[in-house]
Structure 1
Amino acid sequence: MKHHRSDTLAELAADMFDDIRALSRDCAGVSRPAFSEKESETLAYLSKRAEAEGLCVTEDAGRNLVFCLPEHADAPHFTVIGSHVDSVPMGGNYDGLAGVLAGLIVLIAAKRGQRALPRAVKVLAMRGEESAWFGACYLGSKMLTGSLPETEYNAVHKGDGKPLWAHLEALDIDTAPIKARQPICDLRQIDAYIELHIEQGPLLVERNIPAAVVTGIRGNFRYREVHCIGQAGHSGAVPRAYRHDPVLAFAELMHRLDTTWQHLLNTGQDLVLTSGIVATDATRHAISRIPDEIAFSLDIRSQDAETLERMRDYLASEMADIARARGVRFDLGTQSAVDPALMDPDLVADLEEAMAQVTGEAFSMASGGGHDAAVFAQAGVPSGMVFVRNRNGSHNPDEAMEIADFMVGVDILSTYMEAST
């Protein structure tokens, strides 16, 4: 591990990203499983780097790491800058990690006397945000805020089949308060929670903007496997009037949803919708056979809870109408849902002011992906987010965040904190 006090902050950040990439390299990209040895190694590395810079490092009840300036170690109230260190399997190196390193660079800049921190800041490096490992997301932040459901406490790991609680106990984490849904941190001490994250879509790249302030995190309702059931038939022998074709029913449903999506956007409302899995059964269906069934997923997201509720009603009515007209039926299966989380308006305004000072112009946008910030917001902690431009999406080895853009995000955080009183 190389380190020189003369490193610029950008060089220091680049070194840390490179070192952690090397620690967690997989056959493609990086893998830092939630609550794993690899995750612990990453935290241990961060601890050494922070201590070398003269920062105070402690471990909380969830075995997350907390960093701060020595003079802020016993502060009764503080702002948290946080994110997660785990990754998806064979993912990119920046999702989550960028937010942790951004907070560390803010603290190191202050420790080196390059920036001021008039208020206490604690940087939180969390475990267990990605849903890839236990089938549920935000496990670490839900544990901290006392909002981990029993089903997720008992959720099994996709690899070894052991429940989450067993993995926690293997790390010597006291699971009693977690099981009882009691917060394992004192939320009353946290004045605000701020998270820097790479953008997971193309907006900042397309608009040539290095960073953005996040206004809210979209909630969603999802159906993992909807079935549209019709009637099989010969592709050449059954006239249109006598068909019960689930594929055309699905196509009509998606066309109606897409038309409504465009209308909502035209009227200034927030919505995204996706059907990411669509399939007929290849073992039963053929090019010359009208299929009797199609299965598909549906993911509908918005920042606005009322919009989501209207879309639930609209989906039900359109499915019923198409089912009547085409002689098919829809079986939605189990719905999962997450409430939207609006960022604190005052915090958004202050971060926008900081961005305007750094870049000359503020830019704000919604987050389509979920983040730990949503959990803190729903727990009553004023929360905010900063996005950093990133090419090629996220959750893949091709994440491409530039260190220069990352430092713009860091500068926004430092400027915000310097303006805090």
Structure 2
Amino acid sequence: MASSHVSSTVVPVLDPDLGRSVFDRLHEIGFDGRGMTRPSYSEGENLAHGVFETVAREHGLEVRRDWAANLFVTLPGRNRDLPVVMTGSHADTVPCGGNFDGAAGAVAGLLVLCAWVRAGYQPERDATLIVTRAEESVWFPLSYLGSRTAFGLLDATALATPRSDDGISLRDHMLACGAQPDLCDRATVLQPARIDCFVELHIEQGPVLIEADVPVGIVTGICGSTRYRSVVIHGQYAHSGATPRRFRSDTVMAGASMMMALEAAWKQVEAEGEEMTLTFGVCQTDPAQANFAAVPGRLELVIDIRSRDEGLLERMNALVIEQARRAEAEYNVTVDLGPRTRSTPAVMDAGLQAEAKKIASTLDIPAILMPSGAGHDAATFAGQGIPTEMLFVRNANGSHNPDESMEFPDFLCGVQVLEHLLRHRASQD
């Protein structure tokens, strides 16, 4: 039941100027001349974490880091033995991304805790903001790296994984950022039973809220994925005019055939009422050898399939392999799919969804229920059996690009819902 310590006179007030200031400081750290680039386990990510730590200490909040350098900011509760209420997100970006992906959720959690401090509100249980490391798997092919390390879910062999931009291992990047990779598999980590709930605010990364003309989305589930990040099709370079089709080993035609077959399967899946996405984010010949007058002998591509249905992901994965073998036979090429990476779909907590919807209605904030097509750290928490919810904030121009365009009033709408939801949970004794 609700604690008697919670009074209607306790009305925490969010500080918009503090929020704008933190976003401005993050922009200064990450701006690359076009967009934001704060690589996972980099000096830029370190500096971003430092911004959150500085503000937290200025407000008298507890600060600590775990072995992987994830940042934890805590407002102690009256009973510190109770499971903690958690929120948070990440501060790294994709190359030339925007300033709100990830950062908005971390800033939101910081604003909530700072507002509670200023209002003199002490929750019944601890409330903690986590600013995770390395959520963007473009830098290391490991989904949810920071939140997985926080729960001790990272195998020590993954520490040898090189970062995509410089080839330096995860272990060495961790060391350079003050982490202690030698404690992997041995350090104290988060225990699911000690966490009451996790709520992550994030910008929406698609156009649904824009189309619906509402500022806030209440997320029902998070897609999982199956990915091939380094597909290489090997064929034979040959003269474009002197080589009849029956003698060719054309990698571009083989790749195109695979892609069209997979797209046809995607259309069929949608026609049958199922949900998924399929993306070939890279498709390129060798610029040093491919030319106008040659049959292409090498093609590189990536395959990214996402769905909330794990069975569908497995069916599509089987189809990827089937189409690779067919293309080999039909086009006289070799298809090296490379390693497969994947993440598991996550279902959001029905009770938290209902509470968030009720809060939004009470605050007269328009909100809709919707799935998340992108992956988030919240999936890791849900996968540990922790009641988990996500809140989306309307954002024009998508995400993972410099043109992210979250309006600050929309952000404050999302933070208000977050604050009320966390305070409701944190007030339970």
User: Which residue does 2:101 correspond to in 1?
Assistant: 95
TM norm structure 1:
0.84
Q: Is the 8 A contact 2:143 2:342 kept in 1?
A: no
69-78 or 373-382, which deviates more: 69-78
Q: 2:197 aligns with which of 176, 185, 192?
A: 192
1:295 pairs with 2:300: yes
Report the counterpart of residue 384 of structure 1 in structure 2.
389
Contact 2:80–2:125, Cα closer than 8 Å, also in 1: no
* Structure 2 CA distance for partners of 1:21 and 1:316, relative to 1, 3 Å: closer
**Aligned: 1:366 with 2:375:** no
Aligned length: 414
Partner AA of 1:395 in structure 2:
H
1:356–1:248 Cα change, 3 Å: farther
Match of 1:163 among 166, 169, 180: 169
- Checking the alignment, whether the CA contact within 8 Å between 1:228 and 1:330 is kept in structure 2 is yes
Tell me whether 1:354 sits opposite 2:359 in the alignment.
yes
State the match for 1:59 in structure 2: 64
Shift of 1:359: 4.9
Match of 1:202 among 204, 207, 214: 207
* Contact in 1 for aligned 2:79/2:124 (Cα 8 Å): no
CA distance in 1, matches of 2:347, 2:77: 32
Structure 2 counterpart of 1:218, from 216, 223, 231: 223
Cα 1:244–1:42 shift into 2, 3 Å: closer
> Within 5 Å, which residues of 2 pair with 1:224-239?
224-229=229-234, 235=240
Q: Is residue 421 of structure 2 the alignment partner of residue 416 of structure 1?
A: yes
Q: Does the aligned pair in 2 maintain the 1:234–1:288 contact within 8 Å? A: yes
Superposition map of 1:37-48 within 5 A: 37-48=43-54
**Structure 1 residues 326 and 175: CA distance shift in structure 2, 3 A:** closer
Amino acid in the other structure paired with 1:99: G
- Residue by residue over 1:80-129, the C-alpha shift from the partner in whole angstroms, topping out at 9 and shown as x without a partner, is 01112233444322122111111122223333449995654221223333
1:262-301 pair list within 5 angstroms: 262-301=267-306
Distance 1:157 1:277 in 2: 18
The alpha-carbon distance between structure 1 residues 334 and 139, as it changes in their structure 2 partners (threshold 3 A), is closer
CA contact (8 A) 1:194 1:383 kept: yes
Q: Which residue matches 1:149?
A: 155
Q: SS where residue 27 of structure 1 aligns?
A: coil
The answer to whether the 8 A contact 2:14-2:112 is kept is no
Q: 1:334 to 1:127 in 2, by over 3 A?
A: closer
User: Is the deviation greater in 266-275 or in 182-191?
Assistant: 182-191
Gaps of at least 5 residues in structure 1 are 1-5
Q: Residues 320, 112 of structure 1: CA spacing in aligned structure 2 closer, same or farther, 3 A cutoff?
A: same
Q: Which residue is equivalent to 2:322?
A: 317
Which residue identity lines up with residue 381 of structure 1 in the other structure?
A: I
Structure 1 residue 166: Cα displacement: 3.8
Q: 1:29 Cα shift?
A: 3.3
> Is the 1:143–1:181 contact (alpha carbons within 8 Å) kept by the matching residues of 2?
no
The two structures, once aligned, show a CA RMSD in angstroms of 3.3
Partner of 1:363: helix, strand, or coil?
Answer: strand
- Give the corresponding residue for 1:336: 341
Query: In terms of mean alpha carbon deviation, does 184-193 or 228-237 score higher?
Result: 228-237
Tell me by how many angstroms 1:384 deviates. 1.7
> Which has the larger displacement, 319-328 or 379-388?
319-328
Amino acid at match of 1:397: P
Matched-pair identity in % = 37
Deviation of 1:273 (Å) = 0.6
Distance in 2, matches of 1:167 and 1:284, equals 34
How far apart, CA to CA, are the structure 2 residues paired with 1:357 and 1:232? Answer: 66
Alpha-carbon separation, structure 1, partners of 2:113 and 2:331 = 62
Instruction: Tell me, yes or no, if structure 1 residue 11 matches structure 2 residue 21.
Output: no
**TM-score (normalised: structure 2):** 0.82
User: Cα offset for 1:58?
Assistant: 1.9
Answer whether contact 1:147 1:183 (CA < 8 A) is retained.
Answer: no
> Does the Cα contact within 8 Å between 1:129 and 1:137 map onto a contact in 2?
yes
Moved more, 137-146 or 70-79: 70-79
> Secondary structure in 2 aligned to 1:68?
strand
The corresponding residue for 1:20 is 26
Q: Distance in 1 between matches of 2:289 and 2:118?
A: 67
Paired position in structure 2 for 1:140? 146
Corresponding residue SS for 1:398: coil
| Equivalent in 354, 375, 380 of residue 375 of structure 1 | 380
After TM superposition, the structure 1 stretch with the greater mean CA deviation from structure 2, 293-302 or 345-354, is 345-354
* TM-aligned CA deviation for residue 154 of structure 1: 2.5
Q: Supply the AA of the counterpart residue of 2:271.
A: N
Q: State the match for 2:110 in structure 1.
A: 104
Question: Which residue is equivalent to 1:258?
Answer: 263
Aligned residue identity for 2:277: V
Letter in 2 for 1:310: R
Shift of 1:293: 4.5
Asked if 1:305 corresponds to 2:310, the answer is: yes
| CA distance in 2: counterparts of 1:388 and 1:173, whole angstroms | 32
Q: 1:99 to 1:330 in 2, by over 3 A?
A: same
In 2 relative to 1, CA 72–187 (structure 1 residues): closer, same or farther, beyond 3 Å? farther
Give the distance between the partners of 1:113 and 1:19, measured in 2 at CA: 25
Distance 1:173 1:235 in 2: 53
Q: More displaced, 366-375 or 162-171?
A: 162-171
Instruction: Output the CA distance in 1 between the equivalents of 2:166 and 2:294.
Output: 41
CA drift of 1:404 comes to 0.8
1:302 deviation in Å? 1.2
Q: Distance in 1 between matches of 2:92 and 2:259?
A: 35
Q: Note closer, same or farther for the CA distance 1:290–1:127 as it changes in structure 2 (3 Å cut).
A: closer
What residue identity is the alignment partner of 1:76?
A: L
Distance 1:176 1:323, change over 3 A: closer
C-alpha distance 297-114 of structure 1, shift in aligned 2 (>3 A): same
Q: Distance in 1 between matches of 2:160 and 2:248?
A: 46
Moved more, 343-352 or 197-206: 343-352
Moved more, 81-90 or 133-142: 133-142
